[in-house]
Amino acid sequence: MSPPKTAPFAEEEIDLLNRVVGTASPVQRAWLAGFLAGLDASGAAVLPHPAAPARPAEPLTIIYASESGNSEKLAGDLAKAARKNGLKPTVIDMADLELSALASAKRLVMIAATWGEGEPPARAVRAYNELMGEGAPRLDGVEFGVLALGDTAYAEFCAIGRKIDERLAALGGKRVVDRVDCDLDFTEPAARWIGDAVKVLTPPNAGGRVIEVDFGAKAGASASTDIVEAEIIEHVDLNSSRSDKETIHLALSFEGGAPAYEPGDSLDLYAENDPTYVDELLKIAGLANDEKLRADFIKSRDVTTLSLKTIETYAASTGHQYVKALLADGQAKEWIAGRQLIDLIATFPISIDAEKLRALTRPLAPRAYSIASSRREIGDEAHLLISAVRYDSHGRARKGVASNYVAERLKRGQHVRVKLKPNRHFALPAPDKDIIMVGPGTGVAPFRAFVQERRATKSSGRSWLFFGDRTFTHDFLYQLDWQDALKDGALTRMDVAFSRDTPEKVYVQNKLWQRRADLIQWLDDGAYFYVCGDAKAMAKDVRAALVRAYADVKTLSPEAAEKAVTTLEREKRYLQDTY
């Protein structure tokens, strides 16, 4: 029997009831009667959803290889989206990855940045090498997707993400989401990729709801990592007037309090382009009178970077035959080295309109600067140490955008926009632990913050600083600060290497080697080892010096000495912030 037409329901509801009750078995009807009676008795106003049979959430392994935190942040975003979709995500820093975890993963996402010149982020090097090595496990049947982060300004754009993607497939993994290679303005493409990946990786009936991912939205952003205006209250060149370098100590004050930074964090600084450069570029392009484009270029476009993508866009939009030939011959990558956008337009001139010229540029990205102060000592200020990047190439004098914006055009009393970039992977240890800091050039900036913090918190741990630059007389950055710190005990020991003061060049790595006995003793006593500054040569040379020091002091084989340093890295006692 089915409900009569006179039942107190709308016609379509009666149809629905008919469909359920009309076909129900006697047992189902009896259950339904009891259920409805019970519901009435309990006084429940709203029909509860029948409880879904308990089903364990499907796992998703998310691995990130990150140095400055972008991939790590995206891994967190992905985990959030996956959880909402009924998956059970596990997020792993590649620094901590045991490769065996890969083979047991059912679904795998890797988010990887590229550093150096096509290298993995420093913390990820060990696991990356293992993944590429012969001992890597088979990944047959593992569903995976890779999101790559990079910067088209580098010749090896997204090389690490690309290689990981290829490797996972070669090991038998099943690529279910195509890789996307993101440039510095990754927010939107990464959010789209994450949305797609979650959809694809969620098995049917996982129990969640498909969500739209809008990571550009403000709601979740904490106030402390918003862009804020700061006033420049000190602007001092720390090199002497006879130095061939210019390194600016910039003190910033914040209305309403400084961002809640910790020693080891950086500030992203939003710079403007050099108007002289922009004027020259527009003149060469035949667009000198376009005031709107000029303003846009100065304030918000990256008008210096020349990438393969720029050349491809130029060839496609102008049809310039020589540019096409440059690409066809495979010469473009080589031609780019040491050149900028202005060289492309000057070398291969052609009539171009404002829209096409703008399409050759990307948004102007902020530049990171290590914070050189501790709030616990200096209150609501933040100090930065910025070295002006200047060089000649292909017959042209070049100037780094942000560093020269600061060095040449910003003055005391003006304002600058900055954003806090936290770095929990480069933080001070417990106050009673010893620290060894290796920071030549601007690499010393975060160590000024460390030393100030240790003084302000009356830390009992010892501190040892290795600093280096060109000359003692002209380039000894923050010399008086170090002298004071040595006097009041915030700094226990300091070694300096001035490469141009002696006939034979001496660098921080040479100083480490000279002090190797004490160095290894400090490390054996539990000291933390920090390296900041140049990634191209210094960071590698410092690591190599430490391996040699272990081998020599402890009479170890090169392999055992390498293992000693790897152990420090895995214990998170060898920490790097290099660029």
Ligand X SMILES: Cc1cc2nc3c(=O)[nH]c(=O)nc-3n(C[C@H](O)[C@H](O)[C@H](O)COP(=O)(O)OP(=O)(O)OC[C@H]3O[C@@H](n4cnc5c(N)ncnc54)[C@H](O)[C@@H]3O)c2cc1C
Residue from the set 86, 120, 400, 468 that interacts with ligand X by CB under 6 A: 400
- Number of residues this chain uses to bind ligand X (CB under 6 A): 23
Q: By CB under 6 A, what part of segment 435-494 binds ligand X? A: 442, 445
CB of 244 to ligand FMN, least distance (A): 23
SS3 letters for 499-564? Answer: CCCCCCCCCHHHHHHHCHHHHHHHHHCCCEEEEEECCCCHHHHHHHHHHHHHHHHCCCCHHHHHHH
- Which residue among 307, 403, 463, 576 contacts ligand X (CB under 6 A)? 403
User: Please, what is the minimum distance in Å from the beta carbon of residue 73 to ligand FMN?
Assistant: 8
How many whole angstroms separate alpha carbon 500 and alpha carbon 475? Answer: 10
Contact 422, 449 (CB under 8 A): no
Q: Which stretch binds ligand FMN (CB under 6 A): 126-134, 146-154, 393-401, 546-554?
A: 146-154
Q: Are 543 and 122 in contact (CB under 8 A)?
A: no
Residues 32-71: x/- map of binding to ligand X (CB under 6 A)? ------------------------------------x---
Give the pair of three-digit tokens for residue 537: 């040569």
Residue 197 or residue 281: which is nearer to ligand FMN going by CB?
A: 197
Question: What span, in angstroms and rounded, lies between the C-alpha atoms of 438 and 303?
Answer: 35
Q: Which is nearer to ligand X, 81 or 420 (CB)?
A: 420
What is the residue type of 32? L
Separation CA 218–CA 76 (nearest Å): 16
d(CA 265, CA 369): 9
Given ligand FMN, ligand X, none, residue 402, with its beta carbon under 5 to 8 Å by kind, binds ligand X
Q: Which is nearer to ligand X, 161 or 422 (CB)?
A: 422
Phi, psi of 410 (to 5 degrees): -90, 140
- Taking the complex as a whole, how short is the minimal distance between the CB of residue 525 and ligand FMN, in angstroms? 32
91 in contact with ligand X (CB under 6 A): no
Alpha-carbon distance of 266 to 166, in angstroms, equals 33
> φ and ψ at 75, to 5 degrees?
-60, -40
Q: Which stretch binds ligand X (CB under 6 A): 142-150, 365-373, 463-471, 478-486?
A: 365-373
Pairing mode of beta strands 528-533, 435-438 = parallel
Binders of ligand X in range 98-127 (CB under 6 A): none
211 touching ligand X, by CB under 6 A: no
Binding partner selected for residue 569 from ligand FMN, ligand X, none, CB under the kind-specific 5 to 8 Å limit: none
CA angle 360/361/364 to nearest 5° reads 175
Q: For ligand X, which stretch binds (CB under 6 A), given 96-104, 164-172, 183-191, 389-397?
A: 389-397
Q: Which residues bind ligand X (CB under 6 A)?
A: 68, 266, 304, 338, 367-370, 385-387, 389, 391, 393, 400-404, 442, 445, 577, 579
